[in-house]
Structure 1
Amino acid sequence: MGFLKQLFAFGFQQAMSCIFPAVIFLTLAISKTVEVPFLYRYDLILLVCIFAQIVMYKTGLETKDELKVIAVFHLIGLMLEIYKVRMGSWAYPEEAWSKVLGVPLYSGFMYASVASYLCQAWRRLNIRLYHWPMSLLTVPLGAAIYLNFFTHHFIYDFRWVLTAALFAMFFKTYVEYSVLGVRHRMPLVLSYFLIGFFIWVAENIATFLGAWQYPNQQQAWSLVHLGKISSWFLLVIISFIIVAQLKHVKEVLQAGKGIQIQPPSDNLDTTS
């Protein structure tokens, strides 16, 4: 019973952390079958995303700092979307007033939803990182991963080189989280992969609902290639590094001193 209780509590906190992504998917599903007069579908999704963020902030489901992080991710994601669409990686075939260079503005919220999940889960599960590499290593790695999404169209794709580098860099790093007062741990790289995998699952649902369209889905929907998991895996790492560094910077500013590595807690469930 103890295991089931822990599992249920963990699942509940995960579900609460996915409120914003859930709103986006629900909007995609409804807008695919229900038309709103005088309003394009992509514009409707954008309005719902903005409204959802306002409600989450006003009700306390999201903090001011988390809202800032989400805004940053929206801009980062939007820049990547504009570039990828121009390179023909995927497309947004429907009409919209809120399109910029062929990309609807709501697309940035798809990336921001990942940041929303990370921030929410970080707070709800009281996440702590141990043996986190120094910023002089993590920041350049995150920048190199993001840059590779742009440059691989012209030069060698360094994704597997970067993947090997991150395994070496985060080999000793693990994440500790709390469920009903019990601390659990997980290798950080494993958490990267699990999040990336579930984003890939979500991507299949999103493309099925017409959020965007890959070239091989123009005639009929088909499963997103498994190779995309590696892309989401690397994207999650960028997201995680940004969120972690911002939280560390905030701690430094609040404490007025350098970041200290926290020792493992005594109440650590090593079976997880």
Structure 2
Amino acid sequence: MGFEGKSVWITGASSGIGAALAREWAGRGARVILSGRDEARLNEVAASLTAETLVLPFDVRDEDAMREATARATQGAGVDIFVANAGVSQRSPAVDTAMQVYRDIIDIDLTAQIAATQALLPHLTQRGSGKLVFISSVAGKVGVPLRTAYCAAKFGLIGYADALRAELSLSGIDVHVVCPGSVATDVSRNALTGDGSRRGRSDKAIDEGIAPGDAAKTIVDAVELNQREIIVAQGMEEAMAELRRTPDQLFDQISQMVAKGYMAKMQVEDQ
């Protein structure tokens, strides 16, 4: 599929991969909806685009605000592609990490992404088409030290997306999981430490990582090719992620279960 005239809604769009994705899709003729907490920065991204844009600022943990944004986003041309990109990382050993940090990261990186998707699903299923793009991480495939909360959330996001893909396999809605490795953004600088404070400094691996624009191009190209699992990494990170890549044959096998009536049978048995 091409993206000319399509409507793409991106959360976490004020910087990093989200902003780069906005620029990439806008450059391919898409209408872009930008969401995040920082309205001023969202407006700066919008001003840098030549495409039609809509800015819908909200905190992903505020479900009332999220539902209001969903109602606005689905008016008119509606939403063709939703990118669940908002998130926060971590840099702390498990033994030194407060439970509130686990709750906060899982709330932002997993629960809020599920809530936003669930709110949008009726719109997409009624249309009978669309794409859901979940930005997970190589750390959603491989357990990485100092990121126990982040890994838990990102592993969970992949599990939700894979199950959802199977359920929607007859609906015309595609589900994509993106697993970036080190991308040169502020992800490490904004990461939470063990007491929940902002780390405030970056990592060498992140600073020398893939340029956000290059990562965005790889992601959008792969979505256009309808790749279900998209790894955006290099070197050792790419090798680790490839070792844990889910085979397409397994995705197909689960979808075939749905096609053969698995869901309908289970629902009848539950009645």
Richer in helix (by share): 1
Richer in strand (by share): 2
Find the structure with the greater CA-based Rg.
1
User: 1 or 2 for the larger relative contact order (CA 8 Å, sep ≥6)?
Assistant: 1
TM (norm. structure 2) is 0.31
TM (norm. structure 1) is 0.31
